[in-house]
Amino acid sequence: MVSTFLKKLGFLILFSSEIASLEAAIRLPAIFGDNMILQQQQEVTIWGWAKANAKVKITTEWNDRSVFTEAGKDGKWSAKINTPASDGKNYSITISDGDELILRDVLMGEVWVCAGQSNMEMPMIGYGNQPVTGALDAIVKSSNNKIRLFSVKRNYDIVALDDCEGKWNTATPESVGAFSAAAYFFAKRVFETTGVPIGLINASWGGASIRSFMSKEILPEFNLSVEERKENIQKPNQSPATIFNAMIHPIIGYRIRGVLWYQGETDKWMPEQYVKMFQSMVNDWRNRWKQGDFPFYYAQIAPYEKGTKNAAFFREAQEKCMQIIPNVGMAVLMDSNSPDCIHPAMKKEAGERLAYWALAETYKIKGIPYRSPAIRDVQIVKDTVCISFNDAARGLTSFGKQVSSMVIAGDDKKWYPATEVRLVENKIYVFSESVKKPVAVRYAFTSYAPGEIFSTLGLPVSSFRTDDWEE
């Protein structure tokens, strides 16, 4: 039996801990910490917890000014501070409610949230037997005090959390090796081009479905709901709202420039529904961040041989998203050359193609071609189909190789390989001896096909079809 003395001792310890929590020193969520980057030239919200009803003072070193706020009965507080243009200098922020907390080595720059499944999560050091091309060279050269990295630790919940686990690190061989390769290559290219510090917040989880990144408020639109008991969740990275609650909600409100998204392999079986879900998720995130239609750039899933559903329909669905959602852009990855591995080694190309979108559209740098060629017009003249493209730079090219992924069909909907494919400036002429009256053409429209057609600057053409047939 437990003695009366031990019972009283346990009660005193519990009582003391409760009193201590009520009188806790100033505390911040993990997203605010040493080495962080704040979005430059913005009114930035900072928040945390203090003693109940305490007066909280926030002093920023860059302008030697203080703002004041008051904690609620639950100790929660928030305040707004104005950030200057990036000047490369390291600053401190002092927060006090009587007890003092100092954030050190704070930079002004550009902040991007990076989210998705394993291809976004894939670290520079790769996965087992799945390398990242050029990783060793990139890691060796990665030390850069102007690039900062924050990884949200994997977590899930059935309710929206106020905090997550993680910390800001400067870019070093150690931190970069463990960080998202695609996101790092994005940051490296943007920093090298603009000279402005870049902060990355990585909130990704391998195998995740888009439904796990959606808030509970938008789930009913898709006949989905949050599991009532956390212990009943079998696949936390695929259950509705779980990742949103534990990994996205805690960082909402941290001022950002935009979002990078690399996800879709788990959901390729539902292309039409995905378009609606992606649109709803993007709108919801934008509404919650309250920053307007901030940029949302995403990677198209790469060709991959395995799976029963033709993934080309999903790639097509991802391309449709650019037509219905404002301020989004898609990086085409048809040339990933990874038929047997769902994690292509070409993460540098993925990150840099996302960077081209940001540099051209977000940072307004003129003269940067960033869009992959896309169909402008289709004409049929006798036995030949002529397809014209936008954004082909000085024209289309196969870099001297024969195009083998083009098929053509007539009214009978039977597909035959093209016996002649000619690339002339921004046009593709397609002909087959087996189809005298063609009505439709498809290019690389299978789960896996090698990317064969590019702009003259090397941006690949997405798989496409000129028909609307179900299969």
pLDDT (tens digit, 9 = 90+) per residue, 289-320? 999 999 999 999 999 998 768 999 999 999 99
b/e map 54-63, b = 16+ CB within 10 Å: bebbbbbbbe
pLDDT for res 76:
97
| pLDDT bucket at 118, cuts 50 / 70 / 90 | very high
Torsion angle of the four alpha carbons 205, 208, 212, 218, in this order, in degrees rounded to the nearest 10: 120
Domain 19-106 falls under CATH 2.60.40.10: yes
Q: At 114, which amino acid appears? A: C
Average confidence (pLDDT) over 324-335 = 98
- Residue range 29-75, pLDDT digits in tens: 999 999 999 999 999 999 999 999 999 999 999 999 999 999 999 99
Give the class (CATH, top level) of 108-362.
alpha beta
* pTM score: 0.94
**Residue 17 pLDDT greater than 50, yes or no:** no
- Residue range 224-279, pLDDT digits in tens: 999 999 999 999 999 999 999 999 999 999 999 999 999 999 999 999 999 999 99
Separate counts of helices (H) and strands (E) for the chain = 9, 23
Nearest to 313 by CA among 376, 269, 358, 366: 269
- Residue range 131-166, pLDDT digits in tens: 999 999 999 999 999 999 999 999 999 999 999 999
| pLDDT bucket at 24, cuts 50 / 70 / 90 | low
**Residue 12 pLDDT greater than 50, yes or no:** no
Domain boundaries, the chain: 19-106, 108-362, 374-465
Better-scored residue on pLDDT, 312 or 17: 312
Beta-carbon count within 10 A of 322 CB? 15
Average confidence (pLDDT) over 95-102 = 94
Distance between CA atoms of 276 and 117, rounded to whole angstroms? 19
**Residue 23 pLDDT greater than 90, yes or no:** no
Give the torsion sign (CA, 119, 124, 127, 131): positive
